[in-house]
Amino acid sequence: MTRTSLIVAIALGSFILTPAIGYAQGSAVVMVRPGDTIEWSVISAGPHQVRFGGTVAGAPLPTISAIQAILDFPPPPAPQLTIDGDEALSPAAGGGKLLTATVKANAAVGTKFSFTCGMHPAQMASVTFAIAASDGLPPRTHKIFGETGLNWHLHADTTP
């Protein structure tokens, strides 16, 4: 094989594999749909808490009023948010459930949100969540765990 042919073959192979590699790494946006439930829990190395609003690394997070327009939080005795201005915090916990929310039926498609840990805001900023249109499937449960290493671990329900 000539040198030019070899270079073309390598370049073409790289071009063909690039979309597959990108897809395999996953998306930086998690799609949630009306009716989906989001559960935040701590499984290790707490305490942690869910924080909406404020800033992370100088970037503003959606305010709690913007979050309340798309997520419904169940009444007591479920864990409640403490709201202070544009920010809100779940109770702090070293283990167990922090917070639960359901995506509202009238949540605007395309709306995005993120959150962070109230105890470790810079280290535990979430990926972006976006509201998608209903797909006709039963609602899913997205479980988010605060864990060792100051990480949020997402488990998305893939049951159709």
- Compute the distance between CA of residue 33 and CA of residue 127 in angstroms, rounded to an integer: 16
The predicted model scores a pTM of 0.79
Q: Given a cut of 80, is residue 20 above it in pLDDT?
A: no
Task: Give me the DSSP letters along 94-118.
Answer: SSEEEEEEEE-TTPPTT-EE--EES
The pLDDT, as a whole number, for residue 77 is 86
Walk me through the domains of the chain, giving residue ranges and CATH numbers: 28-156 (2.60.40)
**Sequence letter at residue 45:** A
Average pLDDT over residues 16-42: 68
pLDDT band of residue 159 (cuts 50, 70, 90) is: low
What is the distance of C-alpha 115 from the center of its chain? 8
Confidence band for 155, pLDDT divided at 50, 70 and 90: confident
For the cut 70, the answer to whether the pLDDT of residue 38 exceeds it is: yes
Task: Give the integer Cα–Cα distance in Å for 145 and 97.
Answer: 9
Q: Which of 15-29, 32-46, 55-69, 126-140 has the lowest mean pLDDT?
A: 15-29
Which of 101, 97, 96 shows the shortest CA–CA distance to 113?
101
- Tell me what pLDDT residue 9 has: 41
- What are the residues facing 128 on neighbouring strands? 29
**What pLDDT score was predicted for residue 8?**
38
Q: At residue 140, does pLDDT exceed 80?
A: yes
Q: What is the dihedral of CA 7, 8, 13, 16, to 10 degrees?
A: 140
